[in-house]
Amino acid sequence: MIINKISKNKLVTDSFWALIGTIISKGLVLFSGIFIASFLGSDVYGEFGVIKTTLLSFAVFSSVGLGYTANKYIAEYKLKKPEYLYLIIKYCRNITFYLSFLLSIIVCFFSPYICTVLLNAENLTSPLRLISLCLVFSSLNVTQTGIISGFGKFKELAKINTKIGLITFVLSILLTYIWGMLGALLSVIFTQILNFILNYKLIDTSLNNLIKTRIDRDIKLLKKILIFSLPVSLQESIYSLTSWVFSLLIIKYSTYSELGIYHAAVQWSAMILFIPGIMRNVILSHLTQNLKENDTFNQIIKLTIKINLISTLIPAIIIFFCSNYFVIIYGESYNGIERLLNITVFTTIFISVSNVFAQIYMSKELNWIMLLFRVIRDVGILVMFFGLHKIKLFNSTPENLLFSVLFLNIIFLIIMVYYYKKRIQCKD
């Protein structure tokens, strides 16, 4: 009876497929990352890490939050106005494409300045120009993941993620072993392009199966999408900027070797958080469809918090007790990674729960409030970092930075929960 009840719960089944696809694909990416880090050494891996971070930061920036926007509006319109789905997808894809294409040209043109002045590594100019070529595909993948989630095609998305994970695992290890950092960058470019093609085909199939007629133009809908996306895009832009600034701070106050160790540690955090990250699309889709059903809405919140807690707490505890062995896994040049791991993995617990509340705010179109909270958090991280760096609380720059991230994410979660309980839930 219990198994039948669970299997009929749409949120649970969607979450299951989202989790399975993420665990397989990101698990393979994580293990390939260990091999890449070992092959390159901490110095070169630090350079590879900052190039990859630059790509991901600009990709999130140029998608301007349209992944979440597409998710929400497709989940909403597929039930009541399916003829608008083609237009929503068209607008979201086109905006992402034009912005990412423009940004890729800017990055390519200004790469000598970025590498020489900001990254203090003139030798990274050519790699940055190379990686800028796949900025368009990376940005479109962010938006297309939101579109697929809006359709509720989580099982199909899991299959795509699994394929990409397997190809990334084989290709990145092989090319890095042969060509070093150049091979690692080429594997990133190839997998992003392949991911785009698979996502594109799935979206077109889903769209053709669902609609019989379509609307080709609606300026009011475009304005509605842009207005909803603006605060979300500002949130994503701030997140992208701060992620990039974190790397710049380590370069300024430390070395590329410590940056490599930092990226190796954060990669494990990203692996843990990818489960709650994928869940964000599931949550937003289901919350949007149940906005007027308070009981169902609250049940979704409670269930999702439990899933997020379990999916982060268990791996965080395992990694904490095994952290002393990571130097053996990565090599002697990664000495000190265990201290960074211990801080960053427990940060994921608070981030994963805050992700749930972020989707609640988004489903209720309280994006400006979320933007305010994120600004407070990110500015607070930087202020606290400079304070800890001045008093030298920890031995290394990455430790000061990660402790600041941990503390401010705890404060961030407390603020979101308090505001939701006192200002939002009471009104409902």
| pLDDT average per 10 residues of sequence, the chain (428 residues) | 48 60 69 85 89 80 79 85 90 91 91 90 91 89 89 84 88 92 93 95 89 82 86 80 89 91 87 70 70 78 84 88 84 87 91 86 84 91 94 88 94 91 69
Q: Write down the pLDDT at residue 2.
A: 41
- In this prediction the pTM is 0.80
Tokens of 67: 């992944």
125: left (phi over 0), alpha (psi -120 to 50) or beta: alpha
Task: Give the up-direction half-sphere exposure of residue 152: CA atoms within 13 A in the CB hemisphere.
Answer: 16
Q: Is residue 147 a contact partner of residue 70, using CB atoms and an 8 Å limit?
A: yes
Best CA proximity match to 44, nearest among 122, 124, 101, 155: 124
Secondary structure of the chain in the HEC alphabet?
CHHHHHHCCHHHHHHHHHHHHHHHHHHHHHHHHHHHHHHHHHHHHHHHHHHHHHHHHHHHHHCCCHHHHHHHHHHHHHHHCHHHHHHHHHHHHHHHHHHHHHHHHHHHHHHHHHHHHHCCCHHHHHHHHHHHCCHHHHHHHHHHHHHHHHHCCHHHHHHHHHHHHHHHHHHHHHHHHHHCHHHHHHHHHHHHHHHHHHHHHHHHHHHHHHCCCCCCCCHHHHHHHHHHHHHHHHHHHHHHHHHHHHHHHHHHHCCHHHHHHHHHHHHHHHHHHHHHHHHHHHHHHHHHHCCCCHHHHHHHHHHHHHHHHHHHHHHHHHHHHHHHHHHHHHCHHHCCHHHHHHHHHHHHHHHHHHHHHHHHHHHCCCHHHHHHHHHHHHHHHHHHHHHHHHHCCCCCHHHHHHHHHHHHHHHHHHHHHHHHHHHHCCCC
Output the six-digit token pair for 52: 């990859």
Per-residue b/e over 210-249, b at no fewer than 16 CB within 10 Å? eeeeeeeeeeebbeebeebbbbbbbbbbbbbebbbbbbeb
Best CA proximity match to 260, nearest among 36, 27, 48, 53: 48
Q: What is the pLDDT of residue 6?
A: 46
Query: CA geometry: angle at 180 spanning 121 and 158, to 5°?
Result: 105
- State how far the Cα of 12 lies from the Cα of 16, in Å rounded to an integer: 6
R_g of the chain computed on alpha carbons: 21
Q: Are 29 and 104 in contact (CB under 8 A)?
A: no
How far is residue 151's CA from residue 359's CA, in Å, rounded to a whole number? 17
